[in-house]
Amino acid sequence: MDKQISFADTAVQACPFPAYDALRDEHPVYLDPVTGHYVLTRYEDVRRALLSHSVLSNRTPFLGDRWSPEANRLFETEGWLPMDTLVSNDQPEHRTYRSLVDKVFTTGKVASLEPRISEIISELIDGFVAQEEIDFIRDFAIPLPMYVIAEQLGVRKGDMALFKQWSDAAVESTGPVAPERELALAKTLIEMQLYIAQEIERVRVFSDDKLLSQLAHVEVDGRRLSDRELQSLILQILSAGNETTTTTLGSGMRIMIERPEVAESIAVDGSLAKMLTEEALRTATPLQCLWRTALEDVRFGDSVVPAHSIVELRFGAANRDPGHFDWPAEVNLNRDNSNSHLAFGAGIHLCIGNQLARAELRLAFEALTRRLKNFHFSRGADSCKQLEGYTPYGLRELWMSFDRRRTARC
Ligand code: HEM
């Protein structure tokens, strides 16, 4: 390694893969000279870290309750102060929340949503099919997960623009927020809380089969979620679920444009949409990393991470580890261990929305290739604009064109 790598470097963030290869080989436990984090890049190390919740805590300075006293007061007086429930929590409290939420996010629940997800996908394709050029992110990848979750939270169609602002604010609130922006952000989130509170009141009286109603009524040992807990969970679902699914839809489409044979294979055999889903998650992992706090000295191979350090789990590097995946940078629809990627984490914090996200991605890729063909970038080298930031990886714009398929597949 000629020069010191840091993940604080925006050039490394834009394309982290050469850095991953260098570190995985030479420094699998790497002390980042700028952030001071211990960075893990090998599949086995990242996986072991995810499973070591008793010594690696999810309570870190990056996620969870870290608002200023002023913003705290605003939440307390006008809304509900966000609290640690799942992703920024440890055992035993995490287990309490997780067992409640697990009762709602079931395989059966996701299966029951599939027909509606397919309808939303069809409506979105109908909306742009006559256009010569689209921004796939704006016209499809953003609205799909947003509409799916909005309906489940009782958000009305006419309020979708508002919901988009709230969902963006939820994502923004998970990153470093400038002090002058914090109060405005808190106000936007409180607006959402007040809207959701009305819905919670309604479904407590008239329950239905939507997620919000199920979360409001779910019980473990006679315990139900309080309003504050429900509000915190919803914030987490929005911040964790929308942008990540959007990004993966964009990555899947990019693969189909760059490798037309992938789109054609799925058009011939729709069941391969599942494989594209896993390969997009693996090769273009939408959340490149998350963190843990070491509660004691923790050994990885020959290295020891000292107690109290921040450990950075690089999912994006683990998912391209040649020690686990053959020819890891290649998208391969026949790969037999594709779904062992760590894009959704593993262990007690395994993404609760993974089945929902997988269903949306699979149904989307299947429908897009069934109805459309000849996907092309429409603006040459300017067709793709990348997301910026420490953790996300993917596109924020994808300008493309396509042809309609005249003969529908059965
Ligand atoms: C492609 C889409 C998605 C990706 C890549 C993703 C990624 C992740 C990852 C890596 C974790 C583990 C966090 C950790 O170990 O600390 C996680 C947890 C979580 N995800 Fe997702 N997620 C996605 C979609 C969703 C969706 C659609 C929802 C909700 C509808 C959701 C809700 C959550 C929640 C609530 C947690 C916390 C679980 C816990 O701590 O027990 N995610 N997600």
Using one digit for the tens of pLDDT, what is the confidence trace for 240-274? 889 999 999 999 999 999 999 999 999 999 999 99
Q: Which residues contact 152 (CB under 8 A, 6 or more apart)?
A: 113, 210, 211, 212
* Residue 198 CA to ligand 1 centre (angstroms): 26
Residue 22 has pLDDT above 60, yes or no: yes
Question: What 3-state DSSP class applies to 103?
Answer: coil
**For residue 310, is it within any domain?**
yes
Task: Tell me if 5 is assigned to some domain.
Answer: no
CA-only gyration radius of the chain, Å: 21
Give the Å distance between the CA of 410 and the centre of ligand 1: 34
Flag whether pLDDT at 63 surpasses 80: no
Atom of ligand 1 nearest to the CA of 236: 35
Instruction: Assess whether pLDDT exceeds 90 at residue 172.
Output: no
- Can you list the pairs that 173-178 forms with residues at least 24 positions away whose Cβ atoms lie under 8 Å? 173/82, 173/235, 173/239, 174/62, 174/63, 174/239, 175/389, 175/390
How many domains, the chain? 1
Q: pLDDT at position 157, please?
A: 87
Q: State phi, psi for 396 to the nearest 5 degrees.
A: -105, -15
CA distance 233 to 255: 33
Interaxial angle between packed helices 143-152 and 107-128, expressed in degrees from 0 to 180 and rounded to the nearest 10: 130
Ligand 1 mean position to 335 CA, how many Å? Answer: 24
84 neighbors 59 (Cβ within 8 angstroms)? yes
Residue 232 lies in a domain: yes
Q: What is the pLDDT of residue 220?
A: 77
Residue whose CA is at the smallest distance from ligand 1 atom 23: 241
Residues 355/105, Cβ–Cβ less than 8 Å? yes
Average pLDDT across the chain, whole number: 94
Rounded to whole angstroms, the Cα distance separating 210 from 48 reads 36
Share of the chain above pLDDT 90, in %: 89
What CATH number has the domain bearing residue 254?
1.10.630.10
Strand partners, 220: 223
* pLDDT tens, position by position, 27-61: 999 999 999 999 999 999 999 999 999 999 999 98
61, part of any domain: yes
Residue 376 lies in a domain: yes
Residue 58 belongs to some domain of the structure:
yes
* Position 85 in a domain: yes
Residue 332 has pLDDT above 80, yes or no: yes
Cβ partners under 8 Å of residue 292, min gap 6: 49, 56, 57, 58, 60, 310, 311, 313
Which tops the pLDDT comparison, 176 or 235?
A: 235
CA atoms in the 13 A half-sphere facing the CB of 30? 27
94 CA: nearest ligand 1 atom: 41
Other C-beta atoms closer than 10 Å to the C-beta of 269 total: 14
Classify residue 138 as exposed, middle or buried by CB count within 10 Å of its CB (0-12, 13-18, 19+).
middle
Residue 214 domain boundaries: 10-404
Specify whether the CB–CB gap between 286 and 19 falls below 8 A.
no
Confidence label for 358 from pLDDT (cuts 50, 70 and 90): very high
What would the mean pLDDT of 170-192 be, rounded to a whole number? 88
Q: Closest residue (by CA) to atom 43 of ligand 1?
A: 351
Distance 43 CA to ligand 1 centre (A): 19
Q: What's the CA-to-centroid distance between 282 and ligand 1, angstroms?
A: 15
Which residues does a 6 A CB cutoff place in the pocket of ligand 1?
58, 86-87, 98, 149, 236-237, 240-241, 244-245, 248, 286-287, 290, 343-345, 349, 351-353, 356-357
Whether 6 and 39 have beta carbons less than 8 Å apart is answered as: no
Distances (CA, A) of 147 to 113, 141, 188: 12, 11, 19
Residue among 84, 98, 311, 351 to mutate when testing ligand 1 (max atoms within 8 A of CB): 351
3-class secondary-structure state, position 208: coil
Instruction: Give 310 Cα–ligand 1 centroid separation in angstroms.
Output: 20
Question: Which of 260-264, 323-327, 387-391 is predicted least confidently?
Answer: 387-391
Which residue has its alpha carbon closest to ligand 1 atom 1? 245
**Atom of ligand 1 at shortest distance to CA of 97?**
41
Residue 2 located in a structural domain: no
Ligand 1: centre distance to CA 242 (Å): 10
Q: Indicate which residue's Cα is closest to atom 40 of ligand 1.
A: 87
Instruction: Write down the pLDDT at residue 1.
Output: 66
Instruction: List the residue whose alpha carbon is closest to atom 18 of ligand 1.
Output: 351
Distance 371 CA to ligand 1 centre (A): 30
Residues whose CB is less than 8 angstroms from the CB of residue 212 and which lie 6 or more positions away in sequence, other chains included: 152, 153, 154, 196, 199, 200, 203, 234
Q: What is the mean pLDDT of residues 332-360?
A: 98
Question: What are the residues whose beta carbons fall under 8 Å from the beta carbon of 333, sequence distance 6 or more?
Answer: 262, 265, 266, 272, 275, 276, 279
Instruction: Give the percent of the chain with pLDDT over 70.
Output: 98
